[in-house]
Amino acid sequence: MKSLERGTVAETRALVASGGASAVEICRAYLDRVRAVDPRVQAFRTVLEAEALAAAGRVDRDRQAGRPLGPLAGVPLAIKDVLCTRGANTTCGSRILEGFVPSYDATCVARLRQAGAVLLGKTNMDEFAMGSSTENSAYEKTRNPWDPNRVPGGSSGGSAAAVAADEAAAALGTDTGGSIRQPAALCGVPGMKPTYGRVSRYGLVAFASSLDQVGPFGRTVEDVARVLQVIAGHDPKDATSASLPVPDYAAALPRGASGLRVGVPREYFPRGMDREVDGAVRAALRAAERLGARVGEISLPHTEYAIPTYYIVATAEASSNLARYDGVRYGLRAAGSEDLASLYVRTRRAGFGAEVKRRIMLGTYVLSAGYYDAYYLKAQKVRTLIRRDFEKAFEQVDAIVTPTTPTAAFRFGEKVDDPLSMYLSDIFTVTINLAGLPAISIPCGLTKDRLPIGLQIVGRRFDEETIFRLAAALEAELKFRDNRPAVAGDR
């Protein structure tokens, strides 16, 4: 019999609904797994044991009373520590919010609760979601379950690692330039960034408001689809939330890849790219052809401008959003300040880490008088060109397939002192945020060192269904789930 903490979202929910296991039994199994494994992985910032058991108990009482169960009833999930969670520490991986406890839930968190999900805790992350390795957290150093000497990716590294290490059935992350897809790739799990506007951002602590998006990790593509089904949909509390119906994503999964036109952008396979990544993605493309997809080369000509454009737009928005952390309203307040100006300086100096300070300074510079037109305005124009590249491509294809990352997981310390090298880890993902498109990363192979390789599938705006069709078909064909990370060697 499969361990209780190894089931998919659908399997776990069915087990609870049938009475095959109680939600409390399943919750205890996951909490035991967290106690056994998390000292090695350090995926969690906060474990909400009492709250999780209480939520599981409510699910069991509903089942026993014959009341209808939600679509995630009894399913243990983890939440990235950038999403406000009522009554629980929400630090954003930063000292400046150490001890901050929101009085309300983010909309996506509230919807998980309403669906019967059991929230196990908050996961570690790069400070204010600024990073690609989770090395920028002011707290723990989350480790990759496949190799503890390597990073799990970022900024949602804790959420990806928790799912990969069987510490949660699924998890929520956020994606500003690749922060769901990149750690999903490095940890060997599926992870989706939905279309901008598909999921409410209310209660998400902002990094770059025109780029941030909430999305799920799961063990399978179906897990991702079922969690997205719950959190997606219009929210009047978020002005950027789209007033569109949410399709039945799970129903799209069996439709397969046959007849889909798949574009492969030549710019995403540059000379000198890691050969194992290149080989695994191209093998997956051949698998797509066997499944009946028509694969052909396309061009996204403005791709080379994506990284500089992203790091102008994102840092400018970060500089504005993070101005609220001043030591006055909430969070850290530095002692010993003689006046308001020194309070601001002392608080921000003590509370923010090096990467956050770097991005605030970059953003302040590009928004300053005399530089706004030269940098920020020009970046917005290039962003439009990037979006038009995709619009033109989608006149010819139904989905676009690329590598998710240029390499597999790198070692701790390998890039942290070279910001440009770290930023290039997101070279294949930032364009998707700039264009506001949906995309998923699924594992498609292993390197010779048994590290996961990720494949990215990009779709038209609000066409997550087509992405799920192709992703589920490839997942079944590639059978990556037969592989287990090193941390799972205890079973």
Q: Are 204 and 102 in contact (CB under 8 A)?
A: no
In the predicted structure, residue 489 carries a pLDDT above the cut 60: no
Which candidate in 80, 122, 193, 415 is catalytic? 80
- From 22, 94, 132, 155, the catalytic residue: 155
Mark whether 357 is an active-site residue: no
Mean pLDDT of 307-335: 93
Give the pLDDT score at 338: 86
Contacts 24+ apart (CB under 8 A), 320-326: 320/363, 320/367, 321/206, 321/207, 321/208, 321/209, 322/128, 322/352, 322/356, 322/360, 325/96, 325/97, 325/351, 325/352
Q: Bridge partners of 265?
A: 298
452 vs 419, residue with greater confidence: 452
CB 400 within 8 A of CB 262: yes
Domains and CATH numbers, the chain: 4-266+394-490 (3.90.1300.10), 304-378 (no CATH)
Distance between CA 343 and CA 331 in Å, rounded?
13
Distance CA 147, CA 91 (A): 27
Q: What is the pTM of this model?
A: 0.97
Contact 190, 223 (CB under 8 A): yes
Query: Which pLDDT score is estimated for 1?
Result: 45
| CA atoms within 13 A of residue 29's CA, in its CB half-sphere | 19
Question: What mean pLDDT value characterizes the chain?
Answer: 96
d(CA 179, CA 365): 24
pLDDT digits (tens, 9 = 90+) for 326-348: 999 888 999 888 899 999 999 99
The 10 Å Cβ neighbour count of residue 53 is: 16
Residues 6+ apart with CB under 8 A from 420: none
Check pLDDT > 80 for residue 491: no
Mean pLDDT of 399-427: 88
pLDDT in tens, 29-71: 999 999 999 999 999 999 999 999 999 999 999 999 999 999 9
Residue 201 in this model has a pLDDT that exceeds 60? yes
pLDDT higher than 90, residue 387: yes
pLDDT at site 490: 55
Residues 6+ apart with CB under 8 A from 245: none
Residue 80 annotated among the catalytic residues of the structure: yes
Given 133, 179, 319, 441, the catalytic residue: 179
Predicted confidence at residue 418, as pLDDT, reads: 77
Q: Of 104, 106, 453, which Cα lies nearest the Cα of 282? A: 453
Are 452 and 432 in contact, with CB atoms under 8 Å apart? Answer: no
Average pLDDT over residues 453-481: 98
What is the band of 9 on the pLDDT scale with cuts at 50, 70, 90?
Answer: very high
